[in-house]
């Protein structure tokens, strides 16, 4: 009786083993669109406990007590970055990754975590991911399921409005958007109204403020300013009562008056021309002679740039999780001999020069975000290739005219402006060149700066000797 029972039990075990072999997950080699990279930590030793011959049961949704973790990082239109981690370890371990229940990667990691970049995805599409600890090509533990939706493309369809400000000799240098009813354009604006204070037949202004209906011209003066107004080359706004100006020295608008808060060294050629900041207590100012100045909320500190080239533009990305910023600056003589260029990287408080291979010497602006989507413009449009550590020209852009500035609200909403009324927009999938198609005004002159939000575009410059502002509203 016992022997017969053992035979029956053995037969049941054999059938169960065959069932497991036919149904257990298999992990193929990673495909060409999957990139994994490891970091630090100990090995995970997985003990598969079998009754006679058995395969592990899959994790059951809703009752997992996992030791492998999966979380999303940066998300773009066609790429999702994932972080897979385990408890601290000093040896190697193997994981598998599924997307929508299909295995897409198996890899060995010598560390406590690894980063995975899943590319070739569709915009505006939801994907389900799960990570597994693996031994002998079988999963032994599972993360909770992670649901991620890729970004969508944005519309190229805008309504364009051109405004002309001031009389002959007027021009605008920079622009900042507080909101749709509070936009600051700065530069030199002259009108034919008599200035009774300084006894002139004309009046000069340093800013024009859009209130949602009309532009109001404003003189920027106050403590430390002996002229009727400063004429800023750079502006950065946190709110309607907290606006910073770069005009050689540094100035601040508090909602009532404009005050000089940092004076440049008048015995040198240093100036500040452009601004980027995280908050009113974390601001960077850059300009001529390689000038870099940082403000921490209490004092201004000069930073050594390692170059005497004029720094034309600055942009950064702030990581709220780490509290650190990654900042890029582009320096160039542009049209002046001897021509030269530098790309400066300030990361974790350390300043260094990036590889500038592939870039021309005449550069003007830059913009980037946290997804390695880094652009520099000037005599062309260039995008950084992190794999080969060089800049690649985007030849889908017309070689003419010159590109002066670039800004974006995300990688699916990027604008480039330039000479003769040039405007281009990237929606996450393709560029549209409005200037070439005659969809925006063309003129003898140039846009010098651009600011954007998700649905608003504003660019400023000069045309035919007068200041111009182009406003675009997404339809």
pLDDT tens readout for residues 310-366: 999 999 999 888 889 999 999 999 888 888 999 999 998 899 999 999 999 999 999
Least confident of 124-138, 202-216, 260-274, 342-356: 124-138
CA 121 to chain centre: 20
Run of H or E including 94: strand 93-99
Q: 105-108: long-range contacts at Cβ-Cβ below 8 A with a sequence spacing of 24 or more?
A: 105/27, 105/30, 105/31, 105/34, 105/36, 106/27, 106/28, 106/29, 106/30, 106/134, 106/137, 107/30, 107/36, 107/38
Superfamily of domain 22-149: Immunoglobulins (2.60.40.10)
Q: How confident is the model at residue 376 (pLDDT cuts 50, 70, 90)?
A: very high
160-199 per-position pLDDT tens digit: 999 999 999 999 999 999 999 999 999 999 999 999 888 8
Q: Is the distance from CB of 446 to CB of 435 less than 8 angstroms?
A: no
Q: Does residue 27 carry a pLDDT above 90?
A: no
Q: How confident is the model at residue 88 (pLDDT cuts 50, 70, 90)?
A: low
Q: Does residue 33 carry a pLDDT above 80?
A: no
pLDDT of residue 386: 86
CATH of span 158-474: 2.130.10.10
How far apart are alpha carbons 272 and 279 in whole angstroms? 18
Q: Does residue 64 carry a pLDDT above 70?
A: no
How far apart are alpha carbons 50 and 236 in whole angstroms? 65
Phi, psi of 167 (to 5 degrees): -105, -170
Q: Which one, of 208, 301, 225, lies nearest residue 259 by Cα? A: 225
Q: Is the distance from CB of 251 to CB of 260 less than 8 angstroms?
A: yes
Domains 22-149 and 158-474 share a fold: no
Q: Is the distance from CB of 128 to CB of 147 less than 8 angstroms?
A: yes
Run of H or E including 6: helix 2-23
Domain boundaries, the chain: 22-149, 158-474
Q: Is the distance from CB of 403 to CB of 377 less than 8 angstroms?
A: yes
């Amino acid at each position: 009786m016992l022997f017969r029972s053992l035979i029956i039990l053995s037969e049941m075990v054999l059938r169960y083993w065959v069932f497991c072999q036919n149904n257990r997950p298999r992990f193929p080699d990673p495909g060409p669109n999957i990139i994994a990279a490891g970091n630090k930590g100990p090995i995970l030793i997985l003990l598969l406990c079998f009754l006679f011959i058995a395969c592990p049961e899959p994790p059951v949704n809703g009752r997992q007590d996992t030791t492998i973790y999966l979380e999303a990082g940066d998300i773009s239109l066609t790429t999702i970055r994932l972080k897979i981690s385990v408890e601290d370890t000093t040896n190697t371990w193997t994981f598998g990754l599924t997307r929508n229940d299909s295995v897409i990667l198996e890899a060995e990691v010598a560390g406590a975590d690894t980063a995975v970049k899943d590319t070739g995805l569709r915009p505006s599409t939801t994907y389900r991911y799960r990570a597994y600890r693996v031994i002998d090509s079988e999963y032994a533990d599972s993360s909770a399921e992670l649901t991620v939706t890729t970004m969508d493309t944005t519309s190229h369809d805008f309504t364009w409005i051109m405004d002309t400000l001031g009389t002959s000799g007027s021009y605008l240098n920079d622009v900042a958007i507080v909101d749709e009813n509070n936009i600051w354009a700065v530069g030199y604006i002259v009108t034919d109204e008599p200035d009774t204070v300084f006894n002139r037949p004309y009046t000069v202004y340093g800013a024009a403020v859009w209130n949602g209906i009309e532009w109001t011209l404003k003189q920027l003066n106050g403590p430390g300013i002996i002229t009727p107004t400063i004429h800023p080359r750079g502006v950065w706004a946190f709110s309607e009562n907290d606006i910073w100006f770069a005009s050689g020295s540094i100035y601040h608008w508090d909602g009532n008056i404009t005050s000089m808060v940092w004076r440049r060294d008048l015995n040198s050629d240093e100036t500040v021309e452009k601004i980027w900041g995280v908050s009113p207590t974390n601001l960077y100012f850059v300009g001529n002679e390689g000038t870099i100045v940082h403000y921490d909320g209490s004092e201004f500190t000069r930073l050594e740039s390692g170059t005497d080239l004029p720094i034309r533009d600055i942009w950064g990305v702030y990581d709220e999780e780490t509290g650190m910023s990654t900042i890029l600056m582009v320096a160039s003589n542009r049209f002046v001999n001897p021509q030269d260029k530098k790309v400066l990287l300030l990361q974790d408080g350390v300043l260094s020069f990036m590889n500038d291979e592939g870039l021309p010497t005449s550069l003007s602006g830059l913009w980037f975000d946290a997804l390695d989507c880094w652009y520099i413009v000037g005599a062309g449009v260039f995008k950084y290739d992190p794999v080969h550590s060089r800049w690649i020209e985007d030849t889908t852009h017309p070689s003419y005219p010159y590109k002066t500035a670039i800004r974006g609200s995300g990688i699916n909403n990027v604008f480039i402006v330039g000479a003769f009324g040039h405007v281009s927009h990237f929606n996450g999938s393709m560029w549209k060149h409005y200037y070439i198609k005659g969809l925006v005004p063309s003129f003898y002159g140039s846009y010098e700066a651009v600011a954007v939000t998700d649905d608003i575009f504003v660019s400023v410059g000069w045309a035919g000797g007068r200041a111009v502002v182009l406003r675009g509203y997404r339809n």
